[in-house]
Structure 1
């Protein structure tokens, strides 16, 4: 499958997500619009597997050890980009926030398009994570009309956000403590 130029709401292991092909800048701009999110904040990614992460990013040292221990799962790593082609909406200072989720549907979507998928919470910017499509519809309101596809996996288990970690010079910097507790 080529670039997925559509916007999709889909389940992850932490909540329902809003996303698109991470290579598609136009679709990424639509995600910002639907969420009402400032474009100064980059969008996080999910990947089908570690091999896909390694294709797009540098995964080594402490970051690799964390990935080996916690993926698939709710750990997002901030990693240097090594392959061109991702939307500028997902890159901040040469790095992306990426994870391999514990949800098979989310991993399958990324596998099908052959690239990472934007994966931001399916809600208006600043709202809490949502675990049912009824909650997503209530949060997004009229913006739901701008979503091309919705995958209904029923009510998801209420869970915390993913933990976000950046490893620089093999030092662990916890950006957001979430579902996985990591010590710096």
Structure 2
């Protein structure tokens, strides 16, 4: 299994580094991913999902050390939430940096999650950078709960499909919390 995972990570890394899109299992749902610093790849995700680019995307990082590369100031509350939460939680931070401009919301914020999933962790570590992760569906359609539910349009629209966990039934998408640098906390999705 370790050899298979390494092979899938290597294939996904090649695709990400070449500016392509991957379809991969996350700690929540199947995601469409790309290099979070590649504007062209991000534009490709918006086109594939038929989603307006004013709707921000989430990105994944391996740990809080990597998080510091992409957020100017990490509020203390974020570290507390990450320590105590027992479910996948995406946090929206003010003052994003070092990311593709079309990934950052109009207000300068960015949604980031540290996934609790071995494949994602290893992929992020070896990529050594943030990876966009958005649900593997066309905008307006339900989020697929399993690999079998992913549409042909999405499957054909990505450059590489990770061949792991196809049998996995996904949980619901992560909770989303917006943390302002001034201490404001707002639950976007419970």
What's the TM-score bracket when you normalise by the shorter of the two chains?
A: 0.7 to 0.9
User: In structure 1, what is the equivalent of residue 185 of structure 2?
Assistant: 172
Q: Secondary structure at the match of 2:35?
A: coil
TM-score, normalised by the number of residues in structure 2: 0.82
Greater fraction helix = 2
User: In structure 1, what is the equivalent of residue 129 of structure 2?
Assistant: 115
Provide the C-alpha distance between the structure 2 equivalents of 1:24 and 1:111, rounded to a whole number of angstroms.
18
- In structure 1, list runs of 5 or more residues that go unmatched: 178-184
TM-score, normalised by the number of residues in structure 1: 0.84
Summarize the Cα distance change of 1:123–1:59 in structure 2 as closer, same or farther, 3 Å threshold: same
Structure 1 runs (4+) greater than 3 angstroms displaced: none
Q: Secondary structure at the match of 2:102?
A: helix
Q: How does 1:32-181 map to 2 (within 5 A)?
A: 32-57=46-71, 58-70=73-85, 73-81=87-95, 83-84=97-98, 86-92=99-105, 93-136=107-150, 139=151, 141-152=152-163, 153-168=165-180, 169-177=182-190
Q: CA RMSD in A?
A: 2.0
> Conserved in 1, the CA contact under 8 Å of 2:75 and 2:179?
no
Summarize the Cα distance change of 1:145–1:102 in structure 2 as closer, same or farther, 3 Å threshold: same
- How many residues are paired up? 172
- In structure 2, list runs of 5 or more residues that go unmatched: 1-12
> Conserved in 1, the CA contact under 8 Å of 2:145 and 2:169?
yes
Provide the C-alpha distance between the structure 2 equivalents of 1:119 and 1:148, rounded to a whole number of angstroms.
15
